[in-house]
Structure 1
Amino acid sequence: MTGLPKWVDLGLLPLMNLALAFLIAGGVVAIIGESPVEALSVMLKGAFVYDGGLGYTLYYTTNFLFTGLAVSVAFHAMLFNIGGEGQAAIGGLGAILVCLALDAVMPGLIVIPLAIAAAAVFGGAWAVVPGWLQAYRGSHIVITTIMFNFIAAGVLVSLLSGPLMRAGQSSPQSRDIAEAAQLPFIHDIARALGFPATSTPLNLSFVLALIAAVGVWVLIWRTRWGYALRAVGQSEPAAQYAGIRVPRTVVAAMAISGALAGCMAVNEILGAQHKMVLNFTAGYGFTGIAVALMGRNHPVGIFLAALLFGALYQGGAELDFEFQTITREMVLLIQGLIILFSGALSLMFVPALQRVFRPGPA
């Protein structure tokens, strides 16, 4: 706890960290001979103004929202879940298995909910094992979840280069799922309602992510189990003394965390790509850690942080297109600076803010 007023801790402090990250990034842009103001303008326009920019930004936001929520649920129990990448990959495996098995014989109204449920169940099951090892065997959750990322990657390589590989091709990917099993695109819905819309990968999984954010808020702050979860995170001995079953709570927290990470695959497989390709997780699970930290593990903050990283992904692509000297690596630098100041150095301004908002006696 910083001891600062809530609006300072949750609002002003993250904004100061973000401003410093952009200030340093602007300095780097100036050093290479480009205008920081112009670069920022291009990034913002690419993310929110240009045709299709907002759709792509919200598409990326969906992935970050799922993975950020996954990290936050575990973190409330003081579990640092680094395994979102692997849990999303195995969640995708669950979703694609349902689609490949049922999309030719069942209507989409049945296949889609079953695929979403399978993504959550598979992702949750993949996280339960590290959770059980932490709760009952004392294995460190960071080590086990990292190891499970590599195991998940190996599983997908084996399956997508073997049993799940599309017939007649050599690239590691499955066949396309049937159209009935695909989530509708937002631009198609908008056009059906009479609104012009540019084609983007944004689909109804964005709505699913928003529902998940509301569900996490209710679960953590409006239920007895959520209170028990936060009690375990604050002090395991105190929670144990109060009668809370700490090991069971730890395992349940990891199951929910993994289920949320697994749902990220819904956006990619059912919503955007309509097939499973190798490495479809694309680092979203790791970026979700920064999203959760920047969002202070609260669903509202996580949504805003996910939107920021979505804008960086989309706006960064526009920067790479508009400027010859600003490459994709420069965008990664900006993201890294934001992660640095929002994560490792997130409390750097706390002493100064405490002097301002908690002045000592005269």
Structure 2
Amino acid sequence: MNSLPKWADVVLVPLISLILAALVSALVLLAIGQSPMQALTVMVKGALMSPQGWGYTLYYATSFIFTGLAVTVAYHAGLFNIGAEGQAQLGGLGVALCCLMLPWPHWSLALIGAMVAAAVFGAAWAAVPAYLQAKRGSHIVITTIMFNYIAAALMIWLLVDFLRPPTSMDPASARFPATVSLPHFHQLPFISDFFLRYTPDGQVRLNPAGEPMYQKVPANISFFLAILACVGTWVLLWHTRLGYMIRAFGKSEKAARYAGISAVKITIVTMLISGALAGLMAINNVMGQAERLLQNSAEGAGFIGIAVALMGRNHPVGVFLAAILFGFLYQGGAALGLETTIPIELRIVVQGLVILFTGALDQMVRMMLGFAFRARRA
């Protein structure tokens, strides 16, 4: 029986895992002759202490929220979806086709169409592994990993032979029309004041027309869509009949079958939802930031989503917080590479340590805390 209180399982286990990862990261920095305090200062300053910094932090976090939710939904059905990377790339293809081939008069209408296209393409890419798992017994981990590589090859072929403009050598699609450009944080009312540009003496910078100037950031309104996705996932999993069947199937497939729950239906439906969430990530980076389809549009966010789901305890609130943390690591790691001699690859080391302690060594932390709580009660 689990000897940990629920609050300790939800809060203390991830927190201690994070502290252990930070301590080991500090030892790695000391081993290569760098200062852990300097690294932390640069990361905090680069990721949180400037409009551009936290604009990029929230931009990265938005992508991680979508892919983390994709992994979370599949996890509750006992499925390990490793294919969010490929599903996100196919979601980007759906967004690109929607924005390039349809004449949208306004970004709001284009956003609705792009969301539908991204979700459909992402779900379609997850449908084949889901069918193979449900009908043929092929392991979902193996098939989704394979489909990541197939998606990467497919995207290169489509970009080079079909979507690339004739006069361009860059394997990328044409730029989207200006009418489908999503508003960014520095363009939104009430939020834009946080992105004002200032002169060295503390005055707001003005353009030649006398209007305030703003710091451009990649964070856009898809961040709010990610929050809505968290709420929707929570409602789906804990307040709907389908969510109950998904969680029951994930807890015990035999018991769920005995209760009349179709394994084929739950496997396919869950993977379709998971793939749709991963595909929606493309709204952020393809439509919101790049405004065209690039070769590696997912940027590794599909794999980071696995760590986000693990650290977030496969709960939408935890996924949101973990995504903010990994957004901080991404932007802070970039600041390390630009402002210090510490290699930018260190952020990969830190991410790996976070994954190690929140995933592989999670049980070790639980055992340590369980011993402490039993000793305290004794």
2:360 aligned residue: 344
Aligned pairs for 1:1-362 (under 5 A) are 2-103=2-103, 106-190=105-189, 196=196, 197-324=214-341, 326-359=342-375
Q: Report the AA paired with residue 354 of structure 1.
A: G
TM-aligned CA distance change 1:322 to 1:2, over 3 Å = farther
- Among the aligned pairs, what percent are the same residue? 53
In 1: Cα distance, 2:16 partner to 2:227 partner: 26
Cα RMSD after superposing both structures: 1.6
TM superposition shift of 1:106: 4.2
TM-aligned CA distance change 1:234 to 1:205, over 3 Å = same
Q: Matched residue pairs, number?
A: 360
Q: Report the AA paired with residue 223 of structure 2.
A: F
2:200 aligned residue: none
In 2: Cα distance, 1:94 partner to 1:304 partner: 28
Q: Secondary structure at the match of 1:349?
A: helix
CA contact (8 A) 1:294 1:305 kept: yes
Q: Report the AA paired with residue 201 of structure 1.
A: P
In 2: Cα distance, 1:193 partner to 1:162 partner: 40
TM superposition shift of 1:31: 2.2
| Residues 93-124 of structure 1: CA deviation (Å, up to 9, x unaligned) | 11110111113x64433322111110001101
TM-aligned CA distance change 1:244 to 1:274, over 3 Å = same
Q: Report the AA paired with residue 337 of structure 1.
A: L
Larger deviation, residues 73-82 vs 190-199 = 190-199
In 1: Cα distance, 2:359 partner to 2:8 partner: 17
Q: Secondary structure at the match of 2:260?
A: coil
In 1: Cα distance, 2:179 partner to 2:260 partner: 49
CA contact (8 A) 2:186 2:192 kept: no
In 2: Cα distance, 1:361 partner to 1:19 partner: 25
TM superposition shift of 1:86: 0.5
In 2: Cα distance, 1:154 partner to 1:331 partner: 27
Q: Secondary structure at the match of 2:168?
A: coil
In 2: Cα distance, 1:51 partner to 1:186 partner: 10
CA contact (8 A) 1:2 1:350 kept: no
TM-aligned CA distance change 1:179 to 1:191, over 3 Å = farther
Q: Which runs of 5+ in 1 are unaligned?
A: none
In 2: Cα distance, 1:200 partner to 1:192 partner: 12
Q: Secondary structure at the match of 1:347?
A: helix
In 2: Cα distance, 1:268 partner to 1:176 partner: 13
| Residues 152-197 of structure 1: CA deviation (Å, up to 9, x unaligned) | 1111111100110023011100011011112111111148966635
Larger deviation, residues 29-38 vs 151-160 = 29-38
Q: Secondary structure at the match of 1:348?
A: helix
CA contact (8 A) 1:130 1:145 kept: yes
CA contact (8 A) 1:123 1:259 kept: yes
TM-aligned CA distance change 1:125 to 1:49, over 3 Å = same
TM superposition shift of 1:55: 0.6
CA contact (8 A) 2:185 2:192 kept: no
CA contact (8 A) 1:156 1:278 kept: yes
Q: Report the AA paired with residue 266 of structure 1.
A: I
